[in-house]
């Protein structure tokens, strides 16, 4: 993927997808340490952002000003979208991404996210408002369409490009599919052929093999990885190495893996505070234990621990299978 269409170097073209409740600032920082062309913040609801006066932690969550970070916004009205985008730009954002792909009912029932694919004229007004409000590059993330009867991503992409969108990411499913079935990477080719700006393929990309398949079938210039990165923060760097020849990441094994998990756990606690951090951390610890093939009893003990101290005591032995494998 060429970085020429954006005034930023987004290489290698292996990006981290925004995932609510998962790709928070501590995890994005960890992924970026291994290597990623771009990481994207969790989605910000523009109306709520403007009315609820976000606190220090919420503002920090965006990673504004961090190199290789895009801030994603959503909304259903042009004025709040534009105002939020301008405010975020003023705070130092380098790229703003518009969410037109989220399938969650609480988002689509509010006429945001992928629901905007049902009203392309209205969606374009939002895109135009955001592009006109800021000087930084604006990108778009969306799906193939609302359902199989409304596969309008190529038309929306064409119009978005004309409005000034500089990169488009397509999840290879319709909204009504949610995450069921398989992503249709070949269907993304219609978007690639409709526009001149870079197109990024997303959906079911979990390793270098699937990344290569997605690139070949779609003709896209890059890939965005979502759920596959859970418990494997080095995955983007590994894919980039195998496809683009970037330096191979040092994948932590044994004690190194335990140390990485413990450090990530500590970062979450510091960022969120102990009470909230304990809850937020559980999903990540669960994915790390999936990777380590932790026995069920040890897994339950970690995930039901009631204090930081108890968790810190249990974690090293729970992650022990990785250490044993490394020593074998």
> Known catalytic residues?
102
**CA atoms of 258 and 296, how far apart (whole Å):** 18
237 labeled part of a ligand binding site: no
Beta-strand runs (E) in 153-272: 168-174, 199-202, 222-225
180 labeled part of a ligand binding site: no
226 labeled part of a ligand binding site: yes
18 labeled part of a ligand binding site: yes
Task: Check if the beta carbon of residue 4 is closer than 8 Å to that of residue 196.
Answer: no
**CA atoms of 212 and 243, how far apart (whole Å):** 7
Handedness of CA 74, 78, 83, 85 (dihedral sign): positive
**CA atoms of 194 and 189, how far apart (whole Å):** 9
312 labeled part of a ligand binding site: no
100 labeled part of a ligand binding site: no
Q: Is the peptide bond before 12 cis (omega within 30 degrees of 0)?
A: yes
141 labeled part of a ligand binding site: yes
262 labeled part of a ligand binding site: no
User: Which residues fall within 8 angstroms of residue 172, CB to CB, at 6 or more apart?
Assistant: 143, 144, 183, 184, 185, 187, 188, 201, 202, 203, 204, 214, 218
Task: Check if the beta carbon of residue 26 is closer than 8 Å to that of residue 264.
Answer: yes
Binding residues for FMN: 18-20, 72, 141, 171, 226-227
């Amino acid at each position: 993927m060429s970085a020429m269409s954006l005034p930023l170097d987004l290489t290698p073209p292996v990006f981290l997808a925004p995932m609510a409740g998962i790709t928070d600032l501590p995890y994005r920082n960890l992924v970026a340490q291994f290597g990623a062309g771009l990481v994207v913040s969790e989605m910000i609801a523009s109306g709520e952002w403007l009315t609820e006066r976000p606190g220090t932690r919420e503002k920090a969550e965006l990673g504004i000003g961090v190199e290789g970070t895009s801030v994603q916004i959503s909304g259903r009205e042009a004025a709040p979208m534009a105002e939020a985008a301008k405010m975020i730009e003023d705070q130092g954002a380098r790229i703003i991404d518009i969410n037109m792909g989220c399938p969650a009912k609480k988002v689509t029932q509010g006429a945001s996210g992928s629901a905007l694919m049902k009203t392309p004229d209205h969606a374009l007004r939002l895109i135009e408002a955001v592009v006109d409000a800021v000087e930084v590059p604006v990108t778009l993330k969306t799906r193939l369409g609302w359902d199989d009867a409304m596969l309008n991503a190529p038309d929306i992409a064409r119009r978005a490009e004309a409005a000034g969108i500089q990169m488009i990411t397509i999840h290879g499913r319709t909204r009504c599919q949610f995450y069921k079935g398989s992503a249709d990477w070949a269907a993304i080719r219609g978007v690639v052929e409709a526009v001149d700006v870079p197109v990024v393929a997303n959906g079911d990309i979990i390793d270098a093999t699937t990344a290569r398949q997605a690139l070949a079938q779609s003709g896209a210039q890059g890939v965005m990885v979502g759920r596959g990165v859970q418990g494997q923060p080095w995955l983007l760097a590994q894919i980039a190495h195998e496809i683009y020849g970037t330096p191979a990441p040092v994948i932590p094994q044994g004690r190194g893996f335990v140390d990485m998990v413990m450090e990530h756990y500590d970062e979450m606690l510091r960022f969120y505070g102990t009470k909230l951090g304990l809850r937020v951390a559980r999903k990540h610890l669960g994915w790390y234990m999936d990777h380590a093939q932790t026995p069920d009893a040890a897994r339950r003990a970690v995930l039901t621990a009631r204090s930081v101290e108890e968790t810190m005591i249990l974690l090293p032995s729970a992650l022990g299978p990785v250490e044993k494998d490394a020593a074998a």
